[in-house]
Amino acid sequence: MSNPPTRTPGNQHQHHRLSTLPTASKARQLSHLHAQLAQLTANMSDLENLLRMTAVQAEGMRGLGGYAGGMFMAASKVLGEETVNGANEKQEGK
């Protein structure tokens, strides 16, 4: 969208676009946009660091899950043997 032509000395026509006029409002908006971009960049950097840390922690959780599963299997075997041995003793006592 353009403004109507303006007359200058020498009868030359000039067209000014509203978007190219340097105004205080435009400068303020660009400054605000720059600040938001800087904040977004900082947040993205933080997110990247947190994702790296989460990946390391997920590997640790995987290891802990393996240990816990092994302990449950061992406990199940021990308790299962005790139950079987206890049942055999009761049958022999009769």
Residue 57 lies in a domain: yes
> What element of type H or E holds 13?
strand 12-14
How far is Cα 67 from Cα 49, in angstroms, rounded to an integer? 28
Residue 1 lies in a domain: no
* Count of domains forming the chain: 1
For residue 31, give its domain range: 23-86
Q: In whole numbers, what is the pLDDT of the chain averaged over residues?
A: 82
Residue 6 lies in a domain: no
Residue 17 lies in a domain: no
**Kind of pairing between the strands at 12-14 and 6-8:** antiparallel
Q: Residue 84: pLDDT band by 50, 70, 90 thresholds?
A: low
Residue 50 lies in a domain: yes
For the whole model, what pTM was predicted?
0.51
pLDDT tens-digit readout, 31-73? 999 999 999 999 999 999 999 999 999 999 999 999 999 999 9
Residue 93 lies in a domain: no
Residue 9 lies in a domain: no
* Residue 6, beta-bridge partner list: 14
